[in-house]
Structure 1
């Protein structure tokens, strides 16, 4: 690790703001945040996000009780600068990854097992970034 990227997360007007600067110095190239979640996901088969971005690509990262500090189930979403968007994902939209590499073994993801949720900007998208997240909802449809 040892990169020099910086990030912060804070609440503003009922949204989560994930912002910072991605630096390529010292083997950098990404920034991330994550939190534990305790919401009812028992019958969830979809997860939706409402966000406003900066034209960059972000990852939604989920960790299950089985993988709290290791691999994460990951999917990417693109943002359109200064435009509110909604995306919806099913469990099959996620791949199990570790340090940027997709793992050969892909245990089935069920949202009821998710214990941690994170956001990441990666792929060496150098410079300032800002993602405003209005909601992340686990849904059943």
Structure 2
């Protein structure tokens, strides 16, 4: 059993436990989590972060020592959260490590036989631009802004301002899609930074369960002042989040992709303030 196997087991337990909790079977939720933790600890493991295993062991011991279901669940929740963070961090930030950024010229993009374009922004009414909506930190009381608009030369501009006022700090745009990515290796975006600022953006994918669970899969990327094709393998979308907190669930279902998104998030000082990301097209690639 290796890291990916342990992550899959933890995700399966979390999903099964969530179903039991929704049915009111809180004890059943605990039972699912403790059974999976014991299974992992009793298995032969290889290349699995030791601190993750220690967290699971401590959780099992705390569970066994607890005298009520609330304490048992608290022990399991803490163990799972700590173990998954350790397993994901052991991969050296998979978001950035797996994002394959390739610089290409316009002719290469046109002649690429291994892509399928999904979003363009030229033609009547700006192509697919009208399918996007804004989702900013105003939903939490923040003051950031972010919109997607078309340019005169058939591209779109994701622009706005990231503000820290009122505990805010993110801006995003989203588009509902109905895509199947099984025949491809990942998603690409052709984009550039018109101002030359080296801001970090995130590409978001949601599958069908994400819409129900209010979760996201996000991957970081950067671009320069010339158009760049950013190729992101589907495997990079390995960390489900809800409001910045890791959520235990199975991997992204690439046969049921339901949302594309672009986001900018607070962090380092250069992330705060005005931003612009010019996008030519978005699609899937193979090879």
TM-score by length of 1: 0.89
Distance in 2 between the 1:61 and 1:131 partners?
15
**Is 1:11 matched with 2:157?**
no
Q: Which runs of 5+ in 2 are unaligned?
A: 1-139
Q: 1:76 maps to what in 2? A: 220
The DSSP-based 3-state class of the residue aligned with 2:178 is coil
Q: 1:62 maps to what in 2? A: 205
5 Å matches for 1:37-56?
A: 37-39=177-179, 41-53=181-193, 54-56=197-199
Aligned-pair distance for 1:47? 0.9
How many residues are matched? 139
Aligned-pair distance for 1:123? 2.4
Q: Choose which of 16, 23, 32 in structure 1 pairs with 2:163.
A: 23
**Is 1:114 matched with 2:257?**
yes
Q: Which runs of 5+ in 1 are unaligned?
A: none
Structure with higher Rg: it is: 2
Q: 2:280 maps to what in 1? A: 134
**Higher relative strand content:** 1
Aligned-pair distance for 1:106? 4.2
**Higher relative helix content:** 2
Greater RCO, CA 8 A, separation 6+: 1
**Is 1:97 matched with 2:241?**
yes
Distance in 2 between the 1:10 and 1:39 partners?
23
Aligned-pair distance for 1:46? 1.4
TM-score by length of 2: 0.46
Which consecutive segments of 4 or more residues in structure 1 shift more than 6 A? none
Given that 1:60 and 1:120 are in contact with CA atoms closer than 8 Å, whether structure 2 keeps it comes out as yes
Aligned-pair distance for 1:108? 1.8
Mean CA deviation greater in 24-33 or 108-117: 108-117
Q: 1:14 to 1:111 in 2, by over 3 A?
A: farther
